[in-house]
Structure 1
Amino acid sequence: MKPSSSVQLTDLPDEILMMIFKKFDNITLLYSLSDVNIRLNKIVYDFIFTNRLTLLIFVPIRLIKLTSLSIYYVYSLPRLILDRYCLHILPKIHENVTWLDLESSSMERILLATNYPNLSGIALYNIQLECAIHIFSGKIFSVLLLTNISNQIKSIYKFINWIIIILIILKIFEFYSYLSYE
């Protein structure tokens, strides 16, 4: 018998896998390859694939109505995909997420699925006035705001500690004319 010459995905080096995976949309990539094995998790959970998540579906209007316009309808992810994201994927990558593109019907569930300590932006689609009022006056906004303020306070605290350390060093070495740090 002739030996098999087939190459499997896991036979490729990480660098090649990263180049291939960059061609995919990150939501499909994470959904399809998350928890397949430890090596693939390490790659697909990388910041490159997890920092900006578009947790919705854009469908060009020209696919629904025969037009040449570049207008899109926005839909929520299917329930099974959303379940997997909220229960399994988002809790594992939450620290990498800096931006979320969300659709109004799934937004609350996604935002409350986990804490997003590095979240710096949210794009909201299909949002009605009543929903916006609910978000910006309710629990979701409070959780996001408190998390963001807490992270800012931690950053300020670290900065102040560094200033205090520098001042102590300068006080101790005030009589030296040259101080070098390598």
Structure 2
Amino acid sequence: MGVNMRLNQILRDSIFTSCLTLLRVVSNNRICPLPDTVLDRFCLEILPKIHNQIKWLNLESLSLERILLTIDYPNLSGLGVYNIDEKTAISVFKGPKELRYIDFLI
């Protein structure tokens, strides 16, 4: 957002924002979090503008809480969580909100 008008239109289009993958796949198919500068921009500038359109998030466990606590996601119905251990999953997902489907890939 803020780069150019065409990119701004794409980021506001629900086709592109209904399912977001906020992680990186590096060599040997290793999954890593996005760099802090990228996550900062997403959490502070982008997610607050598109949070109503997001239906599915794919996240890496190290950035999970940071992204989920940024803002409310009223239409979120699915969450793919990568590299998460059982203890973290239990502590993060105990609470009143339930998602219809949570996909844990350890």
The two structures have a TM-score, normalised by structure 1, of 0.51
Q: State the match for 2:48 in structure 1.
A: 91
State the Cα RMSD in Å.
1.7
Alignment-derived partner of residue 108 in structure 1: 65
| Higher share of residues assigned strand | 2
Alpha-carbon shift at residue 123 of structure 1 (Å):
0.5
* Structure possessing the higher relative contact order (Cα contacts under 8 Å, 6 or more residues apart): 2
Q: CA deviation at 1:129?
A: 1.4
How far apart, in 1, do the equivalents of 2:10 and 2:66 lie? 26
Query: What is the DSSP-based 3-state SS (H/G/I as helix, E as strand, rest coil) of the residue aligned with 1:95?
Result: helix
Q: Per the alignment, in what secondary structure is the counterpart of residue 43 of structure 1?
A: helix
Cα distance in 1 for partners of 2:7, 2:24 equals 25
More helix per residue: 1
* Aligned 1:5-154 pairs, distance under 5 A: 34-38=1-5, 40-61=7-28, 72-137=29-94, 141-142=95-96, 145=97
Percent identity reads 52
TM-superposed deviation, 1:35: 1.4
How many residue pairs align between the two structures?
99
Larger Rg: 1
2:58 counterpart SS class: strand
- Runs of 4+ aligned structure 1 residues displaced above 3 Å come to 37-40
